[in-house]
Structure formats: C-alpha cells, structure tokens
Amino acid sequence: MRKEHAILWLLGVALGASSAVAAEDDLAPLLKAQTVMISVSREGRGPESGSGIILCQDEGQAYILTARHVVFGRSQGNIREADLSEINRIEISFFGNFAPPIVESKEEKVITKQGAGKKKDLLLLTVPLQQVLPANTTLGTAAAGPQPENAPGGGNAIFTVGYEQREKALPTSWSFLKGSLVRPDAEYLYHDAAITPGFSGGPLFDGSGALIGVNVEIVNGLEIGAEAGVKYGRALPIGPIVETINKWLPGNCLRNVAPVREVAYETYRRAMRAVSIKDWPAAERLMGQALQYLPQEGGSVHLQGMRYTTYLPRYHLALALYKQNRCSDALREWSRSETQRVIQDDKRYGKLRKFKKRCIANLRQEIQKAAATTTEVK
C-alpha cells in the first residue's frame, strides 16, 4: 500500500471510529497510528526500546508523551538514570512510515525534552514534523471501580500498543493488545494486558479508543492485592498527566478535550451528593475518580445556588473509607490530604483530627486483641 493511500485509509478509520465502542478491527490501526516507537542508546549500553503517544501537532511540531525512564533509564540501587550527555542516540519511528524517523545524536539535537521531575516517570518530547498526522488522540479517563459492559468506553475493556519484547521471539513493534482494567485507584490504573518492558511510555486506551493512561511499569499481583505471580500493567492516569504537562502545550493542542479541572469538579459534585446521602461505596468510587482527574486539593467548587465548597477529595475519600470500617486505608488518605496543606485551613480539619484519633485507637485495640489471642494459643 502506498504511503499516501495508507494515510487516507487511516483518516477514514479515524472518522468512522467515533461511536461509543468502535470495532476492534477499526481501532487497531487507528491506535497504532497514535503510537511511536522510541529507541535509545546510552553510554556503555546497547539500544533499548520503548513507546510513546502522539498527543497533538501544531505549527510543524509534534508533541509526544512517554515515560521518563524510556529516555533516561531507571535509578535502581547503584544504577542512576543517565543525563543528557550520556545519551548517544534517540530514534522515534512512526507507524506505517507516514513520516521519516526523527533521529537525534550528540552532534545534532532536534528533540526538546520536558520532564516533570525524577519522581514523576513522565516526559514530553517535542519534535519537528511537517507531515499531517493520520490520527488525533482523544483523551478520556478511567472510572474507579467495576463498570458495566455497556458503560461509555466499553466498561472495563482496554487496549494498549507498544514495542513487544518476549523471550524466544523477535521483538514486534506496534503490538496491539486487549485486556481489562482490573483496579483503578487514585494514583494508578492497573490492567491485565500482557505487556512487556517495551510497552513502557506507551498508551493505555479505553474501549472507545480514548487515551486514559501511560504505561510505566509491570507489577506482581501481590502488590495490588491480586494473585501472586500474575503480572499486571501499571499506568499513570491521564488526568494528572494533563495537569502536569499542560503548561508546555500550545493552546491549539488537545482542543477537543474538556478542561480537566472542570471534569474533576463535576465528578466531585456527584461524589458529594453520595456523601450527603451516606452512600459510602459510591462516595469512595467517585472521590477516587475525581483524584484521577485532579489529585491536588484546593479550589472552590460550585454546588447549588450560592453554595460553594472546597475541593477536598482525599479528605472525603478517607471519610468514606472510615465509614466502611477501613481505618488503615482512611489514615493513609488523611495523611496525604494533610501533606497538601489545604485541609488545615478548612473547618473540617477538626473532624479529620477526631476521626484519626478514633482510627488509631481502634487499630491499637485490634493489635492488642491479636496479641492476646496469640498468647492464649501459646
């Protein structure tokens, strides 16, 4: 297939895949076209491969999102991440060769790299690209908790694209995998697609093909309360990502996306209604979802009429956990809320301190009972 025909075909797929849950056969080429392969050579090491997502294009520049460790490597034990002087070569390749690879070497710097700090495994790459992109990324977000199969976005169905690396097999670029969202929480999305290390930095899409996260790691099920030995993908949710990188994006980028803060506030309003009727499981789910959009507390949320309230999703998530007799989880979220130093100026801080004291007392009683039982058995 000629390159021009391939691009026209992909554009046709993009126009035809706008239903709530598009056909998987249609989504595969569309989502692959939004994904790049990234090969990096560093001092003393051979090429390593990862993936990235084309967020948008503006005035001859493409904005590509990936994981920081894809370019700089991970810091582990005595191994530290590389600095720019230790990176010999970066190559960014496009699906279907609709554009020539972008290559950067020590002699020729062409890629702008903007990171959110070493603690956030996130990197925005800006590259020169004159060719018109064959597909545009649409952002979504994952609902926290199980969703019905007929929910917008296809329930818990997810898709991911990446550079597949498996033993006893040749690496396969633009591998398209299907799976399920198994445990979204306030900080990460977990899924069961069989990703390999080359998927790092690559996209996590919902059932409709909207981008909901960035793959950053593979974890053992034991870490997330699932079956030990079973591997799961861990992804950063797109809401906090957009809040972080938005300052580096031009105004024309991501114009099809509702402002993340507005979506977070609307979700928070729904969560507060659940709090008002003491539907604690729903409050837990919705507060967790609001945190996926906007993790930083603070700001004024309009409720009804002349009523406003402060955006405090971590405080209320902890409250919902506390009301469900999950004190250890509640204490963790209240501590995170206090770390952000917004709750201290709110009238609800007195309740937080009172609830924390009760939780600590309850946990001490449980420890004492467990110790007494152990002594009796002996």
Same domain for 117 and 165, yes or no, is no
Residues in Cβ contact with 262 at an 8 Å cutoff, skipping those fewer than 6 apart? none
> Is the domain of 341 the same as that of 265?
yes
Same domain, residue pair 242 and 281: no
**At residue 165, what are phi and psi to the nearest 5 degrees?**
-130, 115
Are 167 and 281 within one domain? no
Model confidence at 347, pLDDT cuts 50, 70, 90, reads: very high
Asked whether residue 116 is assigned to any structural domain, the reply reads yes
- Regarding whether 353 and 272 lie in a shared domain, the answer is yes
Which of 85, 107, 128 is where one domain is finished?
128
Do 163 and 107 lie in a common domain?
no
| Six token digits for residue 366 | 């449980």
Which has more pLDDT, 102 or 140? Answer: 102
In a shared domain, residues 178 and 276: no
pLDDT of residue 18: 37
The answer to whether residue 226 is domain-embedded is yes
Q: Cα angle vertex 147, ends 144, 153, to 5°?
A: 95
- Straight-line distance from the first to the last Cα atom of the chain, in angstroms, rounded to the nearest whole number: 76
pLDDT bin (cut points 50, 70, 90) of residue 88 is very high
pTM: 0.68
Does residue 257 have a pLDDT over 80?
A: no
What domain count does the chain have? Answer: 3
**What is residue 268's predicted lDDT score, i.e. its pLDDT?**
92
Whether pLDDT at 170 is above 70: no
What gap in Å lies between CA 180 and CA 366, rounded to an integer? 36
Residue 265 and residue 338 share a domain: yes
Last residue of a domain, one of 108, 128, 148: 128
- Does residue 154 have a pLDDT over 80? no
C-alpha span between 209 and 140 (Å, rounded): 9
Cα–Cα distance, 218 to 235 (Å, whole number): 9
Question: What percentage of residues in the chain have a pLDDT greater than 70?
Answer: 83
Answer whether 89's CB lies under 8 Å from 75's CB.
no
**Which pLDDT belongs to residue 141?**
65
For residue 23, being part of any structural domain is answered with: yes
pLDDT of residue 255: 57
The strands making up 35-42's β-sheet, listed across from edge to edge, are 102-105, 87-94, 35-42, 48-58, 61-66, 123-128, 112-115
The token pair at 166 is 């498996």
Compute the average pLDDT of residues 326-335.
92
What proportions of the chain, in percent to the nearest 5, are helix, strand and coil?
35, 25, 35
Is residue 147 included in any domain, yes or no? no
CA angle, corner 159, sides to 155 and 160, nearest 5? 145
pLDDT recorded at residue 112: 93
Q: What is the pLDDT of residue 65?
A: 95
Q: Which domain holds residue 300?
A: 260-365
Is 43 within a domain? yes
The CATH number assigned to the domain holding 54 equals 2.40.10.10
**Domain limit, last residue, from 220, 248, 276:** 248
Q: Mean pLDDT over residues 182-199, rounded?
A: 86
Amino acid at 119: K
Taking only the tens place, the pLDDT of each residue in 17-54 is 333 344 577 788 889 999 999 999 998 777 889 999 99
- Please state, in angstroms and as integers, the Cα–Cα distance from residue 205 to each residue in 90, 105, 141, following that order: 25, 32, 9
Domain of 295, CATH number, reads: 1.25.40.10
Q: Do 290 and 231 lie in a common domain?
A: no
Please write the tens of the pLDDT for every residue from 200-217. Answer: 999 999 888 889 999 999
Residues in the chain: 378
Per the rule left: phi > 0, alpha: psi between -120 and 50, beta: everything else, 142 is beta
The arithmetic mean of pLDDT across residues 298-325, rounded, is 91
Q: Say what the pLDDT of residue 19 is.
A: 37
In the predicted model, what is the mean pLDDT of the chain?
82
Distance from the Cα of residue 189 to its chain's centroid: 6
54: DSSP letter: E
Question: Is residue 35 included in any domain, yes or no?
Answer: yes
276-285 confidence digits (pLDDT tens): 999 999 999 8
**Beta strand pairing call for 189-191 and 61-66:** unpaired
Task: Let me know if residue 328 belongs to a domain.
Answer: yes
Q: Are residues 44 and 122 in the same domain?
A: yes
Q: Are residues 344 and 276 in the same domain?
A: yes
In a domain, 135, yes or no: no
The b/e string for 214-239 (b: 16+ C-beta within 10 A; e otherwise) is bbbbebebeebebeeeeebbbbbbbb
What average pLDDT does range 264-278 have in this prediction?
91
- CA angle, corner 173, sides to 134 and 62, nearest 5? 35
- Are residue 17 and residue 124 in the same domain, yes or no? yes
H or E segment and range at residue 353: helix 349-377
